[in-house]
């Protein structure tokens, strides 16, 4: 679905997801998801009194992000939004802060879910005594979080009329949901939030039950981490809670100046926590350093909206930001020979680098009359383009070496990734030319560009979002296509305009980023025939791929998920509805006065951080 991550590619996230969709975030890097053997480590509640005594308003965590679009946890489409509102809204579980491979840990749940009926029934008991922050919609009374809030919030996730367009995966997965969603999809219809859904019920005030049409571990895991909203607040706001976030989380919104800054403050009614435990020796020193602390410690989070990398880095180097996220060339400005520059390291700054849980790919429109279709000539054209694109140079030039050529659909550290696959990229321009010659693209015009098999001029258009690294991608792809005799034009347009064209099918090639979950089902869903057009941009439909996708979703066995994902990558390589391009490397640069930091792979965990004010003052005085 995919920290206030300074991300350059908004996550079209968390499709069934965010987030991360995305994301999300939507966001990071443990190994394969052990879906069957969930080991739940409950956060230790050390009392029911207010956490206000622990959270110190003088401890201000200073971060940066690109601008966000919403605080609504069921209507976001960008990863930065997901990363911020995760501090306000709480799911039943979260991905454990320190665990690798990732596992679920209770947040508002009283313990692990009871999974019965071969994985088709999930029953979760909520911890009592958890309350939403105050809002006028509650009439001045404390409002306890109850199971019905998760029922309502998941129904909002299903609603096809909200901004995300619902979730095809969840609509087919939750027993009885499809009929309700289809009824709401009719012209002029609205989602009936009072209509019971067989597979989504509050058995009592503190017990939620999900009944599924078939086992599906990855999707359910992602839905168990979704935040809960209060129906009274949503209805009082007329359905628009973009700037009215009311959750049960450790922080609440104090201020949002769009394009300038976001300020969160500690929720005075939040339950005190302890730092998570870990049996991993690599985390031993970190856990020891946080032992005995009542959390959250940070009383205020100030998020500056910074769009420019140079400004971000300068602000960090002068000590104005406590940690930052950098990717590509900007990350290298603080490095020398792959390590922190000596003058940066001397300040006590640390770097945490890992591959993001996102796939960046080149998507082909298989419905396009020139490029699409499943005929041998069109498959050969897409495959030749894939062979002609120099991914190693893309990594070196466009991403300054801060990435790796993608050799499959699922990124490293995400459930379904196959670490045994060779890393060698497809790049082979000689094979690309031979393939084009063999399947009818051998004739050329006066300028040396190839013609279509029917002798007509052949011209392709590659859509890129404006800004970021689009110019560098355009230069490289143009050179690669010229080398094999393919005429490639480019359409550079704002991101939201590009997305509209993708959903409408009005494009030929597009460079896309997608993911954010601990499971690779998000990336794999991009080629699932039942995914909405805002996910399956290519409009790819292939029964064998759908069957492998079903096997991935239904298996609790990580090895079986890897095998299914491998088969899907093989199908994608054969028919080329997309070319997996790069896995980006993310660097978190952290100031020495930040305590409790572990790379936030899948979401933000600001509640576990602390700020050493004395050390910050000392650094400022140098």
For the chain, the domain total comes to 2
For residues 450 and 448, give the distance between their C-alpha atoms in angstroms, rounded to a whole number: 7
pTM of the model: 0.83
Give me the pLDDT at residue 107, please: 98
Does residue 208 carry a pLDDT above 50? yes
The CATH number of whichever domain residue 521 belongs to comes to 3.10.105.10
CB contact set of 389 (below 8 Å; sequence gap of 6+): 362, 426, 427, 476, 477, 480, 579, 581
- Predicted confidence (pLDDT) per residue in 95-113, tens digit: 999 998 888 999 999 999 9
Q: Are residues 612 and 556 in the same domain?
A: no
The mean pLDDT value for 192-212 works out to 98
The mean pLDDT value for 44-71 works out to 76
Task: Assign 279 to helix, strand or coil.
Answer: coil
Q: Are residues 258 and 271 in the same domain?
A: yes
Instruction: Work out whether the CA dihedral 413, 416, 420, 425 comes out positive or negative.
Output: negative
11 belongs to a structural domain: no
Judged by average pLDDT, the poorest of 37-46, 204-213, 221-230, 506-515 is 37-46
Q: Are residues 308 and 363 in the same domain?
A: no
Give me the pLDDT at residue 77, please: 80
For residues 532 and 166, give the distance between their C-alpha atoms in angstroms, rounded to a whole number: 9
Does residue 14 carry a pLDDT above 60? no
The CATH number of whichever domain residue 327 belongs to comes to 3.40.190.10
DSSP category for residue 326: E
Does residue 5 carry a pLDDT above 70? no
Q: 105 with 94: CB under 8 angstroms? A: yes
Supply the DSSP string of 451-482, one letter for each residue.
Answer: BPTTSSB-EEEEEEESSTTHHHHHHHHHHHHH
The mean pLDDT value for 193-203 works out to 98
Does residue 1 carry a pLDDT above 80? no
Q: Are residues 455 and 561 in the same domain?
A: yes
341 belongs to a structural domain: yes
For residues 179 and 76, give the distance between their C-alpha atoms in angstroms, rounded to a whole number: 25
Give me the pLDDT at residue 37, please: 34
Distances (CA, A) of 286 to 3, 14, 98, 291, 322: 18, 30, 10, 9, 18
Of 84, 106, 113, 63, the closest CA to residue 19 belongs to 84
47 belongs to a structural domain: no
Q: Are residues 563 and 600 in the same domain?
A: no
479 belongs to a structural domain: yes
Query: Percent of the chain, pLDDT > 90?
Result: 80
Supply the DSSP string of 224-245, one letter for each residue.
Answer: HTPPP--HHHHHHTTT--TT--
**Residue bearing tokens 């020979």:** 337
Give me the pLDDT at residue 468, please: 65
Give me the pLDDT at residue 28, please: 33
Q: Are residues 431 and 339 in the same domain?
A: no
The mean pLDDT value for 54-61 works out to 94
For residues 74 and 1, give the distance between their C-alpha atoms in angstroms, rounded to a whole number: 11
The mean pLDDT value for 131-158 works out to 98
147 belongs to a structural domain: no
By CB atoms closer than 10 A (0-12, 13-18, 19+), residue 457 is exposed
DSSP category for residue 346: T
The pLDDT-based confidence of 20 (bands split at 50, 70, 90) is very low
Q: 499 with 384: CB under 8 angstroms? A: no
Q: 502 with 366: CB under 8 angstroms? A: no
Q: Give me the chain's average pLDDT, please.
A: 90
The mean pLDDT value for 510-525 works out to 92
Give me the pLDDT at residue 90, please: 98
Domain that includes residue 319, residue range: 251-356+587-620
Give me the pLDDT at residue 622, please: 62
Does residue 165 carry a pLDDT above 70? yes
Q: Are residues 273 and 411 in the same domain?
A: no
The mean pLDDT value for 490-515 works out to 89
Judged by average pLDDT, the poorest of 403-417, 486-500, 553-567 is 486-500
- Predicted confidence (pLDDT) per residue in 392-410, tens digit: 999 999 999 999 999 999 9
From start to end of 258-297, where are the E strands? 261-266
Q: 563 with 402: CB under 8 angstroms? A: no
Q: 439 with 453: CB under 8 angstroms? A: yes
91 belongs to a structural domain: no
The mean pLDDT value for 335-351 works out to 96
For residues 367 and 357, give the distance between their C-alpha atoms in angstroms, rounded to a whole number: 28
By CB atoms closer than 10 A (0-12, 13-18, 19+), residue 8 is middle
For residues 197 and 177, give the distance between their C-alpha atoms in angstroms, rounded to a whole number: 6
The pLDDT-based confidence of 249 (bands split at 50, 70, 90) is very high
476 belongs to a structural domain: yes
Does residue 10 carry a pLDDT above 60? no
Supply the DSSP string of 127-150, one letter for each residue.
Answer: PSS-BPPP-GGGTTS--B--HHHH
Of 180, 176, 173, 178, the closest CA to residue 218 belongs to 173
Does residue 32 carry a pLDDT above 60? no
Q: Are residues 290 and 311 in the same domain?
A: yes
449 belongs to a structural domain: yes
Q: Are residues 436 and 577 in the same domain?
A: yes
Query: Percent of the chain, pLDDT > 70?
Result: 91
500/300: higher pLDDT: 300
Q: Are residues 297 and 318 in the same domain?
A: yes
Give me the pLDDT at residue 499, please: 80
- Predicted confidence (pLDDT) per residue in 262-301, tens digit: 999 999 999 999 999 999 999 999 999 999 999 999 999 9
Q: Are residues 437 and 314 in the same domain?
A: no
Q: Are residues 283 and 329 in the same domain?
A: yes
Q: Which residues of 529-548 are buried (b: 16+ CB within 10 A; e: fewer)?
A: eebbeebbbbbbbbeebbeb
The pLDDT-based confidence of 15 (bands split at 50, 70, 90) is very low
CB contact set of 91 (below 8 Å; sequence gap of 6+): 107, 108, 224, 225, 226, 227, 228
């Amino acid at each position: 679905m995919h920290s206030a991550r300074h991300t350059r590619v908004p996550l079209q996230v968390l499709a069934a997801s965010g987030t991360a969709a995305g994301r999300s975030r939507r966001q990071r890097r443990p190994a394969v998801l052990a879906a069957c053997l969930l080991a739940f480590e409950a956060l230790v509640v050390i009392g029911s009194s207010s956490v206000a005594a622990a959270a110190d308003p003088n401890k201000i965590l200073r971060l940066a992000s690109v601008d966000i679009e919403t605080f609504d946890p069921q209507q976001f489409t960008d990863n930065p939004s997901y990363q911020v509102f995760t501090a306000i809204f709480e799911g039943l579980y979260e991905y454990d802060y320190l665990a690798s491979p990732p596992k679920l840990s209770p947040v508002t749940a009283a313990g692990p879910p009871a999974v019965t009926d071969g994985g088709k029934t999930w029953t979760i008991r909520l911890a009592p005594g958890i309350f939403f922050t105050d809002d006028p919609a509650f009439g001045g009374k404390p409002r306890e979080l109850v199971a019905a809030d998760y029922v309502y919030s998941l129904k909002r996730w299903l609603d096809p009329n909200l901004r995300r367009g619902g979730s095809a995966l969840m609509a087919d997965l939750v027993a009885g949901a499809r009929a309700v969603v289809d009824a709401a999809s009719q012209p002029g219809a609205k989602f009936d939030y009072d209509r019971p859904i067989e597979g989504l019920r509050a058995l009592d005030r503190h017990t939620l039950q999900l009944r599924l049409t078939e086992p599906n571990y990855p999707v359910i895991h992602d839905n168990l981490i979704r935040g809960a909203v209060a129906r009274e607040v949503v209805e009082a706001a007329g359905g628009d809670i973009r700037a009215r976030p009311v959750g049960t989380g450790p922080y609440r919104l104090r201020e949002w100046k769009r394009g300038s800054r976001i300020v969160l403050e500690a929720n005075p009614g939040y339950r005190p926590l302890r730092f998570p435990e870990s049996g991993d020796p690599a985390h031993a020193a970190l856990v020891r350093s946080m032992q005995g602390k009542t959390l959250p410690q940070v009383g205020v989070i100030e998020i500056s909206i910074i769009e420019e990398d140079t400004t971000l880095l300068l602000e960090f180097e002068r000590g104005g930001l406590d940690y930052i996220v950098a990717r590509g060339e900007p990350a290298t400005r603080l490095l020398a020979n792959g390590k922190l520059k000596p003058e940066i390291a001397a300040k006590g700054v640390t770097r945490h680098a890992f591959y993001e849980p996102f796939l960046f790919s080149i998507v082909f429109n298989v419905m396009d009359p020139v490029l699409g279709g499943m005929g041998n000539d069109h498959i050969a054209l897409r495959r030749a383009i894939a062979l002609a694109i120099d991914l190693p140079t893309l990594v070196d030039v466009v991403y300054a070496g801060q990435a790796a050529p993608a050799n499959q659909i699922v990124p490293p550290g995400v459930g379904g990734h196959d670490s045994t696959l060779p890393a060698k990229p497809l790049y082979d321009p000689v094979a690309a030319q031979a393939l084009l010659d063999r399947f009818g693209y051998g004739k050329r015009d006066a300028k040396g560009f190839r013609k279509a098999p029917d002798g007509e001029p052949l011209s392709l258009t590659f859509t890129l979002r404006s800004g970021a690294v689009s110019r560098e991608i355009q230069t490289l792809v143009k050179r690669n296509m010229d080398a094999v005799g393919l005429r490639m034009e480019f359409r550079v347009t704002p991101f939201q305009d590009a997305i509209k064209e993708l959903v409408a099918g009005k494009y030929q090639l597009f460079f896309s980023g997608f993911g954010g979950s601990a499971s690779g089902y998000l990336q794999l869903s991009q080629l699932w025939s039942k995914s909405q057009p805002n996910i399956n941009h290519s409009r790819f439909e292939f029964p064998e791929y759908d069957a492998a996708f079903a096997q991935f979703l239904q298996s609790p066995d990580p090895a079986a998920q890897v095998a299914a994902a491998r088969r899907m990558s093989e199908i994608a390589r054969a028919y080329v509805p997309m070319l997996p391009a790069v896995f980006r490397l993310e660097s978190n640069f952290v100031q020495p006065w930040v305590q409790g930091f572990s790379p936030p792979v899948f979401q933000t965990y600001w509640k576990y951080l602390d700020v050493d004010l004395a050390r910050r003052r000392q650094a400022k005085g140098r």
